[in-house]
Structure 1
């Protein structure tokens, strides 16, 4: 019998497939106590399962390339670190040897114990790490069961299937996407979660908050995932299938129409030129940016060179990567962000501080770079050498105060002097800018502008810090909303301060590539957007429908909003959208 299950759209699209339920908490395990003669054999099985889980993550990391690698590798690294955590491993061994637990039972007990510890933490970022622990241990349990029951592999890649789960790790989603996964329905989750962001980058339709999905949908049920209306249709009728086919035809036509915009100018309806840059880190990203008509690279992430290394990349390795990037853009400007490790991005060389109480507020970004001046200077030398091959700007992440920019400028000056003594060609000028993602930097931006040639707003972290809300925590969705008045006023302050100082301001966070926020950013006065290269055509198309002068005339009105609901209603009114919620704003486009 046909059944409709409502959900929240996390990634637009539609898919028709067979349901595949993933309920890792329901793994069946043997809870009988171990006999003394079984302990060593079971320890061996446990260690083998742990190694299988490590190997799977290594293999997955090796298969990922380009933007997909950027989206997923930080989570693979975090999961790999957990699998090598001495406390976790020692606890498991003790439970088997001393407590006589069988490996599966020990893993579940450890999972539940650690989840409770994280759940009880006051810090929202650390509390959200509970999901990482659960996903890692569930992977080991799955590996353990596959040793004896290969047919029970829970997350095997199945062509033509829609995943039904409470939540799914980004690494698992990437693994399944490469094998034909059609879409995802989550019984919980947030439209701002890392998995939702990845789904949008992969073009996979996704619903979250589909509360009854795991109880009402069964394996092999035919499901129509309608992430345009925000519903999952179980046992769709002929009429539902006709609607799906019509959507497919429309999507094909729309894709062809957008493709024609690749070489079109980027202008608003009233003729104002807007710059659209690409976020990139690989040659594939650069090629896509060129093909979509990007105005340049607005954010090049250099940390991938460090994350894929067991040690530190040499100056020449970095120079070649940066040079190829600059040459690949064929004379278009490139913004290279200096090393942005820390928080949930840990390198194998050991630069990142381990065991910080709150890594999101710890030694990361420029704080980490200044802690290791020799490593930072090597990167600076490589950037200076590459900047001779085309226009380059340098972006410094996680800046909090002017002293940090002064220190970075000093290191660039010293590196330039060294290279001059070595008779190496250098660029005449190299603009240096700050990434505005710390509230203190945004509030005190006028002081920073004295030491910056440009600014780039990183809205992902800035929103989390301003609102004290983890974007991946679905319980905080009413708080984590880019239309929060305090956040809008801070964005407006940064953009207007840059304009008054006659220094460029771009925005490279997730909302830059979400067409549902394009009008908002024009209202706030933004002229430079940087986004996933796959979003450029949609944003260019959206800009052509908007009158910038009209939108700017309503900036004062919008900034007087008291609540995000009020701001949302105002924006809908300003843009002529009277269809109620612009729901659109809650999880549609792709994100950084």
Structure 2
């Protein structure tokens, strides 16, 4: 019988497939008291399930490469640490040995206890990490209930399925997508979560917040996931299927229309030129950027060089990667971001600090680089050598205050002198810019510009820090919203400061590649966007329909709005989709 559910579109598109349910909080567990003679066997069973869960995460890490590895390795690391947490393991053993609970009940009790601890925390970032507890415990319970052959321990991933779950970890999404997953549907989650961002980069349709999905949908039900209109149709009718086929034809036609824009200039309706740059990491990103007509690379992430192996990459390894990037862009400008790691991300040969109370506000980005000047100097030397092959500039992440840029420039000067003594070819000049993702940097941007040649606004982190809200916490959807006036005022302030100083300002956060925000950013004065290369044609198409002069005249109304609802209403008025 046909049934319709509603959800919030996190990644646009449609998909038709069989439902595959993952129900971490709904597993049936054996609640019978454990006999004294059964304790040791039950402990062995529990520890075997924990080992299976650890092995699954290890195998996932080995299978992921490039952009996917960068997106999800931090979650794999966090989950691996939880599985080795002494307090968690001791508590489980005591529940079985002393409380005489079976393994499944012990896991659920530990889950409930830890979630309460996290929910009681004042820090919103830490409070939101309760989702990690859910995902780790569900992985162990799943391992507990499966048989123990190696094949059955692997994460099931059958072609033609749509994942239906409470939440989905980015690592699992990446792995399942590689095996043919068609779409994802969750009962909770946020459109700004890491999983949602990953789904958009993979062009995987996804709906979040479909509260009743797990109670209404059953395994192998045929479902139509409509992330264009925010609904799920269980047991679709012939009429529903006809609508899906029509959408497929329209999507193919739209794809052909957008493809024709690959070689078109990027102009607004009133003829104002806008630069569209690519966020990149791997050779495939560079190839796509060139194919879509990017004006250059606005953000090249160097972390993958440090995450793909246990040892730190050598100067030559880094040089080759940067040189190939520059050559691959065929003379177009390239912006290389220096190492952006911290304890909230994956480790890199023991560089990052463990045990920080709040790693999101810890030793990360330029703070980490300056803590290890020899490692940083190796990267600087590689960048300087590669900059002889084409136009290169350097972007420094997580800048807070001017002295960090001064220290970076000093290290560049020392490296340049060292390379000159070695008779190595060097570029005449290399621009050094600051990434504006810390509120202090935005507010004190004029002081930073005395030492920065250009600016790049990183809205993903800037929004989290300004709003004190984790983007992955669906309980904060009413707060974490890129349309929040406080955030818009900071963005507008930075853009205006850069323009007055005659320095370029780009924006490389998630909203830079979202056509829904293109009119807003244009109104705030932005003319340099950096995005996933897959979004370039969509943004170019949107820009062609917008009047730059008319939008700029509305900027004061936008930044003086009191609520994001007011901003939303204004945008609907001045630049309807």
Scaled by the length of structure 1, the TM-score of the pair is 0.93
Residue 179 in structure 1 maps to residue 179 in structure 2: yes
Deviations 1:165-216 (A, max 9, x none): 1111111111211222111121121111111111111111111111221222
Residue 472 in structure 1 maps to residue 472 in structure 2: yes
The corresponding residue for 1:201 is 201
Aligned 8 A contact 2:56 2:155 in 1: no
Q: CA deviation at 1:74?
A: 2.3
Q: CA deviation at 1:36?
A: 5.3
The corresponding residue for 1:563 is 563
Residue pairs, 1:280-359, within 5 angstroms? 280-359=280-359
Residue pairs, 1:100-115, within 5 angstroms? 100-115=100-115
The corresponding residue for 2:378 is 378
The corresponding residue for 1:215 is 215
* Alpha-carbon separation, structure 1, partners of 2:501 and 2:119: 45
CA distance change for structure 1 residues 253 and 140 in 2, over 3 Å: closer, same or farther? same
Q: CA deviation at 1:272?
A: 1.4
CA distance change for structure 1 residues 381 and 159 in 2, over 3 Å: closer, same or farther? same
Q: CA deviation at 1:298?
A: 0.8
CA distance change for structure 1 residues 413 and 90 in 2, over 3 Å: closer, same or farther? farther
Deviations 1:518-553 (A, max 9, x none): 111110111111111111111111111111111112
Larger CA deviation: 108-117 vs 188-197? 108-117
The corresponding residue for 2:506 is 506
The corresponding residue for 1:169 is 169
Deviations 1:102-127 (A, max 9, x none): 43333322222222211111111011
The corresponding residue for 1:129 is 129
SS at match of 2:404: helix
Q: CA deviation at 1:434?
A: 0.4
* Alpha-carbon separation, structure 2, partners of 1:337 and 1:87: 38
SS at match of 2:25: helix
The corresponding residue for 1:458 is 458
Residue 541 in structure 1 maps to residue 544 in structure 2: no
* Alpha-carbon separation, structure 1, partners of 2:573 and 2:343: 39
Aligned 8 A contact 1:66 1:284 in 2: no
Q: CA deviation at 1:31?
A: 3.9
CA distance change for structure 1 residues 221 and 488 in 2, over 3 Å: closer, same or farther? same
* Alpha-carbon separation, structure 1, partners of 2:450 and 2:355: 36
* Alpha-carbon separation, structure 1, partners of 2:511 and 2:86: 39
CA distance change for structure 1 residues 48 and 322 in 2, over 3 Å: closer, same or farther? farther
Aligned 8 A contact 1:384 1:426 in 2: yes
Q: Provide the aligned length of Structure 1 versus Structure 2.
A: 577
The corresponding residue for 1:425 is 425
Residue 4 in structure 1 maps to residue 7 in structure 2: no
Deviations 1:24-68 (A, max 9, x none): 112233344555555554444333333322222232223223333
The corresponding residue for 1:589 is none
Aligned 8 A contact 1:394 1:431 in 2: yes
The corresponding residue for 1:583 is none
SS at match of 1:139: helix
* Alpha-carbon separation, structure 2, partners of 1:181 and 1:307: 26
The corresponding residue for 1:551 is 551
Q: CA deviation at 1:81?
A: 2.7
Aligned 8 A contact 2:24 2:166 in 1: no
* Alpha-carbon separation, structure 2, partners of 1:398 and 1:429: 23
Q: CA deviation at 1:149?
A: 8.7
* Alpha-carbon separation, structure 2, partners of 1:320 and 1:42: 53
Gaps of 5+ in 1: 578-592
Q: CA deviation at 1:148?
A: 4.9
CA distance change for structure 1 residues 278 and 34 in 2, over 3 Å: closer, same or farther? same
Aligned 8 A contact 1:512 1:518 in 2: yes
Residue pairs, 1:143-154, within 5 angstroms? 143-148=143-148
The corresponding residue for 2:264 is 264
Scaled by the length of structure 2, the TM-score of the pair is 0.96
Q: CA deviation at 1:403?
A: 0.9
CA distance change for structure 1 residues 301 and 310 in 2, over 3 Å: closer, same or farther? same
* Alpha-carbon separation, structure 1, partners of 2:22 and 2:420: 59
CA distance change for structure 1 residues 154 and 233 in 2, over 3 Å: closer, same or farther? farther
Q: CA deviation at 1:382?
A: 1.5
Residue pairs, 1:397-436, within 5 angstroms? 397-436=397-436
Deviations 1:456-480 (A, max 9, x none): 0000010111111111111211111
Aligned 8 A contact 1:167 1:186 in 2: yes
Q: CA deviation at 1:15?
A: 1.2
* Alpha-carbon separation, structure 2, partners of 1:147 and 1:89: 22
* Alpha-carbon separation, structure 2, partners of 1:154 and 1:376: 39
Aligned 8 A contact 1:369 1:375 in 2: yes
> RMSD value over aligned CA atoms?
2.0
* Alpha-carbon separation, structure 2, partners of 1:576 and 1:14: 23
SS at match of 2:229: coil
Aligned 8 A contact 1:381 1:416 in 2: yes
CA distance change for structure 1 residues 153 and 217 in 2, over 3 Å: closer, same or farther? farther
* Alpha-carbon separation, structure 1, partners of 2:327 and 2:352: 31
Q: CA deviation at 1:245?
A: 0.9
CA distance change for structure 1 residues 488 and 31 in 2, over 3 Å: closer, same or farther? same
Aligned 8 A contact 1:405 1:452 in 2: yes
Gaps of 5+ in 2: none
Aligned 8 A contact 1:184 1:204 in 2: yes
